[in-house]
A = this chain, B = another copy of it.
């Protein structure tokens, strides 16, 4: 069966066709412009491939409540032209095949669960730490979803005692995303994280925040594995720091097994997003 996948990002769209095992046969990428132009490019690409089903991992927030009249629509986004755009509806007009839609982070989690760092466990949480912070949970082949998709990046964490930064979240100021996203690091130090590689305090503080979040996700969701990715985690030294903080914070309360296997890096690299989108069809 030939599957299609769309990684619908705020900056670029990636479209691919592939098989049920997540192998990519052909892939294209183009910049995200207004919805009509962008979706035309999507249609153009898939018209050359007899796909039988389509998966979409989209930027958000997006309405994923199947009982809602706006199911499949982009919600309140700063990208004005995309606000309230009926992404699923538009795709359904163009493609008369089953279409599966979820958030980009849930699609990434699905990809790691099926093909990557979570392929040997029954449940995994995927956290992405970049421009924003998001997380998704896949368990027993299902993406967890409440009334709508989670917004786990906005949990509250304790401010590090040495952190004077007031936080950058426009809604919550010093929630996790407000303190630990890439832009938060840059705002705190006045320079990008990539230029702070040798400043141990930067990564110690970052690990403190991420470990708190992982502590809270673990006692709440108890996944078998937690995969932490995104641009900020290119700083590989973060992994051992996060693990050390988590072990201290958890203090043996919940058995997470070997912490090196509990908190891991993603394995799928650049194609994670579009493979994730395709994987929504076969999860």
Chain A residues packing against B (C-beta within 8 Å): 122-123, 139, 144-159, 171-172, 212, 215-217, 219-224, 249-254
Q: In the complex, what residues of B have CB within 8 A of residue A223's CB?
A: 146-147
Complex CA distance for A252 and B148, rounded to whole angstroms = 15
Closest to A252 in B: B171
Q: In the complex, what residues of B have CB within 8 A of residue A216's CB?
A: 155-156, 216, 220
Q: In the complex, what residues of B have CB within 8 A of residue A215's CB?
A: 155-156
Closest to A155 in B: B216
Complex CA distance for A157 and B155, rounded to whole angstroms = 10
A151 near B254 with CB under 8 A, answer yes
The one of B122, B158, B220 in contact with A217, judged by C-beta atoms closer than 8 angstroms, is: B220
A219 near B151 with CB under 8 A, answer yes
The one of B139, B151, B212, B219 in contact with A154, judged by C-beta atoms closer than 8 angstroms, is: B219
Copies of the chain in the assembly: 2
Q: In the complex, what residues of B have CB within 8 A of residue A122's CB?
A: 147
The one of B123, B156, B219, B249 in contact with A212, judged by C-beta atoms closer than 8 angstroms, is: B156
The one of B144, B222, B251 in contact with A148, judged by C-beta atoms closer than 8 angstroms, is: B222
Closest to A61 in B: B254
Complex CA distance for A115 and B211, rounded to whole angstroms = 38
Q: List 6 A-B contacts (CB under 8 A).
A: A144-B144, A145-B222, A146-B223, A150-B220, A151-B254, A155-B219
Q: Closest CB-CB distance, A249 to chain B, in whole Å?
A: 7
Q: In the complex, what residues of B have CB within 8 A of residue A123's CB?
A: 146-147
Q: Closest CB-CB distance, A138 to chain B, in whole Å?
A: 11
Q: Closest CB-CB distance, A268 to chain B, in whole Å?
A: 23
Q: In the complex, what residues of B have CB within 8 A of residue A220's CB?
A: 150, 152, 155, 216-217, 220-221
Complex CA distance for A175 and B223, rounded to whole angstroms = 20
Closest to A157 in B: B156
A147 near B222 with CB under 8 A, answer yes
Q: 8 extra interchain contacts, Cβ-Cβ under 8 A, other than A144-B144, A154-B219, A157-B158? A: A146-B223, A147-B224, A151-B219, A151-B222, A155-B215, A156-B158, A156-B215, A171-B252
Q: In the complex, what residues of B have CB within 8 A of residue A156's CB?
A: 157-158, 212, 215-216, 249
